[in-house]
Structure 1
Amino acid sequence: MFSIEHDFDATVVTLVDEGEGGTSGGFLYEDITINAFEDCVTLEQLDPRTDVVQRIVLSMSQVRELAAALNLPEGVYRAGGT
């Protein structure tokens, strides 16, 4: 399950782990919040061991490369070519 909200300066996507098929009794990970700003994208997730929110910041170039990578076979690539 996920939600999308449009704030003043960002689009916020929250991903909720529902387990396998949404009904698994196994371990569930904390929600992930993705903030898409004009110049970067941040991913945030609470680390339950330390009770600290961990944050990853991606440049827009990194986001474009990640999107491209999701549709490519295994290998090493450079933007604009192989």
Structure 2
Amino acid sequence: MFTIEHEFDATVITLVDDPAGHRQEDVTINAFEDCVTVEQFDPRTERPHKITLSFAQVADLAAALDLPEGAYKLGRPVKR
């Protein structure tokens, strides 16, 4: 399950881990004008963890979900 909200300065997507044997904390994705942040609360430390991605990194991640194992640049395999 997920929710989408449009805030003043960002689009906020929250991914809710549907009930399972070992449920993970919700993941919140904030899409700003210049970057995307991904946050998840850590119940062990009682603090959220946040990473920031550029839009190029988000595009690479989206492409990587549909590609086989390997190293890529701009959708092409990188020669090693």
Fold agreement, TM-score > 0.5: yes
Unaligned runs of 5+ in 2: none
Structure 1 residue 45 corresponds to structure 2 residue 64: no
State how far apart, in whole Å, the 2-side matches of 1:67 and 1:38 are.
18
Query: Once superposed, what is the RMSD of the aligned Cα atoms?
Result: 1.1
Aligned length: 77
Q: 1:63-82, aligned counterparts within 5 Å?
A: 63-82=58-77
State how far apart, in whole Å, the 1-side matches of 2:76 and 2:9 are.
33
Structure 1 residue 5 corresponds to structure 2 residue 5: yes
TM-score relative to the length of structure 1: 0.87
Following TM superposition, where does structure 1 have runs of at least 4 consecutive aligned residues deviating by more than 6 angstroms? none
Amino acid corresponding to residue 16 of structure 1 in structure 2: V
TM-score relative to the length of structure 2: 0.89
